Amino acid sequence: MTADQHASRRRGDKVPDLLERLAPWEEAHRDGVALPLERTVGDEVQTVLSTAEAALDLALHLVRLQDWAVGIGAGAVHEPLAESSRASSGPAFVQARTAVERARGRGEPMPVVVVGDHPEAAGDASALVQLLAAVVRRRSAAGWEVADLLGPGVRQKDVAATLGISEQAVSQRVRSALLEEERRVRPLAARLLRRAAGEKEDV
C-alpha cells in the first residue's frame, strides 16, 4: 500500500505525525503487517500488508484522516522481502504506484483505488472500498465517538455509560453512522481484495 499526502506544500509535512499515530494500529495488526509503514520519498508512505483485512482497515483509517490518497496494490511481491518496503520489489509495488496516482486524480469519487492481478476484481474492490470510504468520510464526530468505543464484545450499554448518554442515543448514533452496515460489508470487501490479488475465492 502506498499513500500520498494531499497538498503537503500548503498543509505541511504530516508524515512524522502519521507514523506516530499509526504505531498503535501496527501493533494491534502485527499479524497482518509484513513490513511497517515508512516514508519512501517526499510526503509518501508505504507498507506491505499480508492480509486483505489489514489492508482494508488501514485504507479506511487513512481515508478518515482526510489527508491521504491511498493506493492498494493487490498482487505478489518478490520474496524474501527486504528489510524495508523501499528496498523490496514485485508487481504489488507497481500496482500500488498506479493505484495511488489514480487516487490522487479527480476522476475517482474517493481517494482510494485498488489495482491488482485480476483487473475486473480490482475494479469491483475499488468500487466497494470507495463506498466504505464515503461512509467513513461522512461520519460525524458523534458517530466516531461511538464507533471508536464499540469494539468486539462491547455492548451499547457500556458505550452509553462511558459517554454519559442514553442507550437510545447510542443506538441512534449507530444507525446514523451506518456502523452495522460497514461491519457487514467489510468481509465482502476483503474477499474482493483477495480476488483482485488473483486468489481463487467465491464471493
In-domain check, residue 72: yes
Q: Based on the number of CB atoms within 10 Å of its own CB, is 11 exposed (0-12), middle (13-18) or buried (19 or more)?
A: exposed
* pLDDT tens track for 94-120: 999 999 999 999 999 999 999 999 999
User: Which pLDDT belongs to residue 11?
Assistant: 77
Q: Tell me if 104 is assigned to some domain.
A: yes
Hey, what's the cell of 143? 458517530
Condensed to tens digits (0 to 9), the pLDDT of residues 11-69 reads 789 999 999 999 999 999 999 999 999 999 889 999 999 999 999 999 999 999 999 99
Any domain includes 79: yes
Note down the domain range covering 102.
Answer: 2-117
Q: Between the CA of residue 70 and those of 5, 6, 55, 66, what are the distances in Å?
A: 9, 10, 10, 10
Q: What is the pTM of this model?
A: 0.93
Longest dimension (CA), the chain: 53
Tens of pLDDT, residues 132-159: 999 999 999 999 999 999 988 999 999 9
The closest of 55, 46, 59 to 130, measured between CA atoms, is 59
Per-residue pLDDT band for 201 (boundaries 50, 70, 90) equals low
Number of domains in the chain: 1
Residue type, 171: S
The answer to whether residue 13 sits within a structural domain is yes
pLDDT surpassing 60 at residue 203 = no
Question: What is the residue whose three cell numbers read 487516487?
Answer: 103
Domain presence at residue 172: no
